[in-house]
Amino acid sequence: MVESKYVLYGLIAGVISGAIQGTYAFLITLPRADEVINEAVNITHMLGINVSEYKDIIYLAIYLTPVLTAVFMLILGAIFGALFEFLSKRLRTYPALITTLGIMALILAVPNVAVGSYGKALSNLLGVAIYGAVLTVLVIRGLKVRCEVYG
């Protein structure tokens, strides 16, 4: 059971953004799966490792990408939902939302940019944007319900 509505909002936004981001990564990676496997074969061949059994594992990892990304974003959604709740008690709702999304974007994108993985940084920013959009809709909907009940 979720004790905070903001954590619940974070969970919902996380699973939706994770599913979309995972599907995006799957659709980008699947056509290039053979290239990925050939690159792995070349690298491991230089090291003297037999790669024939790794092909199935690589394909399995590619097919599990949407599910694993959704689970990862679900966990991050709960964490950042709790952060949003903490900040919303100290700031107003929208500054807390912007601060939460900014911190999330920094954590997910900056390390990828630092190592030159711009495609992964773009994919993570897509996830943050979707997470932010869903979280914003849920928060606005929650505020309207609260105004109708108490107003």
Task: Tell me if 66 is assigned to some domain.
Answer: yes
Number of domains in the chain: 1
The pLDDT tens digits for 80-103 are 999 999 998 998 888 888 898 899
Task: Tell me if 103 is assigned to some domain.
Answer: yes
> How far is residue 50's CA from residue 93's CA, in Å, rounded to a whole number?
55
Check residues 143 and 100 and name the one with the higher pLDDT: 100
Task: Tell me if 151 is assigned to some domain.
Answer: no
User: What is the residue-averaged pLDDT of the chain?
Assistant: 83
Task: Tell me if 71 is assigned to some domain.
Answer: yes
Task: Tell me if 14 is assigned to some domain.
Answer: yes
Q: Running DSSP on this structure, what letter comes out for residue 3?
A: S
Region 45-72: what's the mean pLDDT? Answer: 79
Task: Tell me if 80 is assigned to some domain.
Answer: yes
How are the residues of the chain apportioned to helix, strand and coil, as percentages rounded to the nearest 5?
90, 0, 10
- Note down the domain range covering 30: 5-146
pTM: 0.78
How confident is the model at residue 145, as a pLDDT? 56
DSSP 3-state of 113: helix
Region 101-124: what's the mean pLDDT? Answer: 86
